[in-house]
Amino acid sequence: MASNSKTFSFDEVAKHNNKKDCWIIVNGKVYDVTPFLDDHPGGDEALLSATEKDATIDFEDVGHSDSAIEEMQKYYVGDIDTNTLPAAKVDNIPPPRQAVASSSSNESSGFVLKFLQYVLPLLILGFAYALQYYGKSSKPSEPSES
């Protein structure tokens, strides 16, 4: 059963996505869990929802016991050709894209913030000093003249 390591493409494995024929991919290995669907403590729906994708994260998120990991070896049918997997990993790309998009807008908003934080207070201070200077220089001259 588990003696030969056959390599499957993602599309090939993804076809096995129903109660009568259910294959999952975990840690680069392919498991035919069809006979286990009714016995899975997490329910058959959990296994069915783990088809058509790399279920490694789903499997690990549950925190399966060592005995569960031992048990899954019974259902091992081969390895996945990892070059055919990127479809599942594409989902992870949007966050960096958003980060890039937001970082470019952050650059301009960062400049505005710096301007408001440092330059604007200095301008206000300068303006205040200027007002004080001109105010003092004009006031003493008035009473001395009158």
| Residues at the site binding ligand HEM, with contacts judged by CB under 6 A | 24, 31, 33, 40-42, 46-47, 50, 55, 58-59, 62, 64-65, 67-68, 71-72, 75
Beta strands in 1-146 (DSSP E): 6-8, 17-18, 21-26, 29-32, 76-80
From the CB of 110, what's the least distance to ligand HEM, in Å?
41
At 74, the amino acid letter reads: K
- Residue 64 burial (C-beta neighbours within 10 Å; 0-12, 13-18, 19+): middle
With residues binned 3-state (H G I as helix, E B as strand, rest as coil), the percentages for the chain, rounded to 5, are: 60, 15, 25
From the CB of 7, what's the least distance to ligand HEM, in Å?
19
User: Closer to ligand HEM at the Cβ: 2 or 62?
Assistant: 62
Cα–Cα distance measured from residue 17 to residue 51, given in angstroms and rounded to the nearest whole number: 6
User: Closer to ligand HEM at the Cβ: 40 or 81?
Assistant: 40
From the CB of 41, what's the least distance to ligand HEM, in Å?
4
User: Closer to ligand HEM at the Cβ: 63 or 140?
Assistant: 63
User: Closer to ligand HEM at the Cβ: 11 or 60?
Assistant: 60
From the CB of 3, what's the least distance to ligand HEM, in Å?
18
